[in-house]
Amino acid sequence: MDQSAPARDHHAVSHRRTWGGLALVAAVSFSLTASEATAPIDPAQPTFQTIHAATFIDTLGVNIHIGSEPYNDPNKLAGMLRYLGIKNVRQSSPTDAAGLDRMRQLGRLGARFDLIVNGGGPVDLKGAMQSVHDMTPYLNAVEGVNEAALYPIMYQGKKGIDAAVALQKDVYSAVRRSPALNNVAVYMFTIGGADPSAFPSIGDLSAHADFANVHSYPPHGLRPIFVIHAAIDGGRTSAATKPVVVTETGFYTLPDHDAWGGVPETVQASYLLSLMLDEAAAGVARTYLYDLIDDGPDPKRVSREDNFGLFRFDGAPKLAAKAIHNFTTILADATPIGGSVLLKSLSGTAVGVPYHHTGNALALQKRDGSHVLVLWNEQQVWDPATRTASTVTHIPIDVSLGSSYPTIRIYDPLIGTDPVHEYHDLRTVTVDLADHPIMLVLPPVPIRP
């Protein structure tokens, strides 16, 4: 549910998101292990919340729009995804053979799809499922209709939300009946709109979805942590017993825009890094950023829909794309994949992090046993009233680890992929925490306990 932003103009998004659909994620053997990330951090505990680094990277996804420029070159898209270190994409079902061919080509290049079954109407279930089966080798998930309150559909004589509910039930049944889709899950449809109190009561549809589904757009430059948990709780009401995915979230880069939330590229970059970590730490199984590329060139700098991208319309990476590239590059695992890797919690504390408010910590374990300890603190760094950057507060954080390490390397993903500091033969270190995540890389074998 889009609980944190006003409804976007229909004419601005009709070529992108007027079609609702159904998204698939593994229902039997999910590639995601969301349970790793469900335990809350308690600073009194001697260990950090820890998940596999590969699990964290697999929580990341991004929205794309094959069928519209600038999204019709699969090789270009694949290059951007490789740069980001992301393989998961969210995409509406193809509307013609050319679109299907491009989507399948991107799948062959490594992308894995959350496929939105097209809405509008009247919706044809047989045709919708044909698109699903055409994309089966490349699917993660199938998703119910997109923002049904904003873009109503027609199905089996029903309209609007009633039609979306009926379609959700039928798509779920169709997916579950197909042996070829055993490892594909169904996401709940989204409703859309700014005010959760205005949402119609649809009851608990947990029996007809594998994941609850949320849209969350923090308004007016608001830091993500102040929106995420309310959005998750709201989205979960429609599938109360199921884990959660966030299929749209992001910030658009128009700091002079007087609508609901333009920010500079620097703020988009720092907020998106924190947002990805917030949602993984909260147990969100996958987060699809909105979106990969600016929808248009927007020379007059007036269209928010043309400025949500991680890349500009001409393909140049924004600061957010560079920051995500740096983060996933630092997190990359050179150890070959093979067998299961025992998850070992990282022992230690980080004193000074404002837990349970704006800060947090998450340890990410690579396959070789090394850990990347990420610390972050979301500060309000943009003032929408004056459209100016706010002063950043620097907090000294005393990190005390359970063992001494031969090297402790500190990285700043907003700067690059080389360490900004390196320490030797230590178990305690003080680091400077500003308005974006920092990363402490620890080797797999400490010197001594």
Nearest Cα neighbor of 116 from 199, 19, 26, 28 is 19
At residue 55, the pLDDT reads 95
Structure confidence by residue, pLDDT tens digits, 215-229: 999 988 899 998 888
Cis peptide before 256 (omega within 30 of 0): no
Cis peptide before 122 (omega within 30 of 0): yes
> What is the phi/psi pair of residue 341, to 5°?
-115, 125
Assign domain 10-331 to its CATH superfamily. Glycosidases (3.20.20.80)
The verdict on domain 348-442 having CATH code 2.40.50 is: no
Q: Which helix (H) or strand (E) holds 187?
A: strand 185-187
Which amino acid would we find at residue 380?
Q
311 pLDDT tier (thresholds 50, 70, 90): very high
For residue 4, is pLDDT > 50? no
The reported pTM is: 0.89
Q: Does this chain's domain 10-331 share its CATH topology with 348-442?
A: no
First-residue to last-residue Cα distance in the chain: 47
Q: Which residue has the higher pLDDT, 177 or 385?
A: 177
Structure confidence by residue, pLDDT tens digits, 243-287: 999 999 999 999 988 777 799 999 999 999 999 999 999 999 999
At residue 10, the pLDDT reads 27
> How many CB atoms neighbour CB 225 within 10 A?
22
What value, to the nearest 5°, has the Cα angle with vertex 151 and ends 150 and 157? 120
Q: Domain ranges in the chain?
A: 10-331, 348-442
Distance CA 353, CA 31 (A): 32
Pair of tokens at residue 341: 């890797």
